[in-house]
Chain A
Amino acid sequence: MGETENQGHWWIWKVFWILLIVTTVEVVLGIIKPSFLVDTIFLGTKLLNHVFIVLTIVKAAYIVNVFMHLGFERKSLKWTIVLPAFILVPYLLFILLTEAGYAYLMH
């Protein structure tokens, strides 16, 4: 804490606007579905889905770093918290999604 404590609330509203704008962009993209994003297939799914995933991770980073204050914690604490997720979640996704491809072929 400390650094942000005496600076008013502008940083809270800044994150609020970022989250709101990113969500609006996601919803607009989801409704109009630009054809070049839908028709391009990359890594087994539409390019549009990759755009959604990147925007989601941007939102998640702002929530965790600013709202949950992790960005202001000590470095050792930061890594203790994010590393298990960074290692295990992609690992789990890799196993299950690859396996699903085989399940589809068997099915």
Chain B
Amino acid sequence: MSEKEDYGKAWEGNDKPYAASYGKLMMWFFLITDTLTFSAFLAAYGFSRFKYPDIWPNPEDVFTHFPFLHGDHPLLFVALMTFILIMSSVTMVLAVNYGHKMEKNKVILWLSLTIVGGCMFLGSQAWEWGHFIHGDKGGIDTKTEYVVHVAEGEELSSVYSLMGVDGHDGSHHHFTTEEIISSLENQTQYNIRKADREYLSNEESITYLKKHATKVLLGANLEDNEYGHRLFADYFFFITGFHGFHVFSGVIILIIILINVIYGTYEKRGHYEMVEKVGLYWHFVDLVWVFVFTFFYLV
């Protein structure tokens, strides 16, 4: 079947608006709407961040961990996730390219590697979410809706080291504000850092907490967020979650297309345009991540 006949059938009138097939055009229309959806999410994030500029959490203080490494390594893990996604975009282009040349086995190879890349990305995101939910340093909620953190002098410390326990030993910890205050009274080297990054002295900290502290926060969820303003966690779950859901659907669609390629569906059809269409979606997912990476982690 020649390309012309195929397009003619799709539009039932031999017209080819924009010289693109029906399927590709519709994929592009879907991607435009999805672009606007993600833009709205990120713009809303920008709104909240500009509304609370003094107390908004600093992303580098939040995402600091790397598997099997101790200490703080801001940005490294997200950089790795970005690399994985770029790499899987490259394997996708290669699959599309071999599709044009009708080389079935090469399409199978590169499509499979794209799926592996997608799964690696999802795994990394699960790890990142796990860490975010478990929490790192702990925080104390105050009546003013601002979250304050434990510090040692001018250096950020953690609720766990103030209480003398290991926060990553796997057990479930729970502290009351009274326990925190009495620990501050016993260990005068500790103090707190307010949400606007102002460090208080030990006595000031005790007075401040006695007056305002409502709850000790360990970890993050949609209600409480130890890292700072609760909207930060809400946006994190919502935006990275929505993107992760796109990656997940992408992996599922890629698997379906791969099965079709293996069965020879597109060989029989005479062209691999379906691989090209799912490729468009996959690159779009990469494109969104480029923006999420900048606006959630870098800026």
A residues touching B (Cβ–Cβ < 8 Å)? Answer: 1, 5, 9, 12-13, 15-16, 19-20, 23-24, 26-27, 30-31, 44-45, 49, 52-53, 55-56, 59-60, 63-64, 67-69, 73-74, 76-77, 80-81, 84-85, 88-89, 92-93, 96-97, 99-101, 103-104, 107
Contact = CB atoms under 8 A, between A and B. Distances in A.
B298 A104 contact: no
Given A63-B283, A93-B43, A23 B82 contact: yes
B18 A76 contact: yes
A103 B47 contact: yes
5 contacts: A20-B86, A27-B76, A45-B299, A63-B89, A100-B49
B100 interface: yes
Nearest to A85: B35
Contacts of A12: 90, 93-94, 97
Contacts of B11: none
A99 B290 contact: no
Contact of B18 (A31, A44, A80, A100): A80
Taking chain A's interface residues, is the majority helix, strand, or loop, or is none over half, making it mixed?
A: helix
B140 to A, nearest CB: 21
A85 B32 contact: yes
The list of the 5 closest CB pairs from A to B, nearest first, reads A100-B50, A77-B18, A103-B51, A96-B47, A56-B294
B286 interface: yes
B100 A101 contact: no
Nearest to A104: B51
Contact of A63 (B48, B79, B286): B286
Contacts of B294: 26, 52-53, 55-56
Contact of B50 (A27, A80, A101): A101
B46 to A, nearest CB: 6
B43 A5 contact: no
B290 A63 contact: yes
Contacts of B83: 20, 23
B298 A16 contact: no
A9 B97 contact: yes
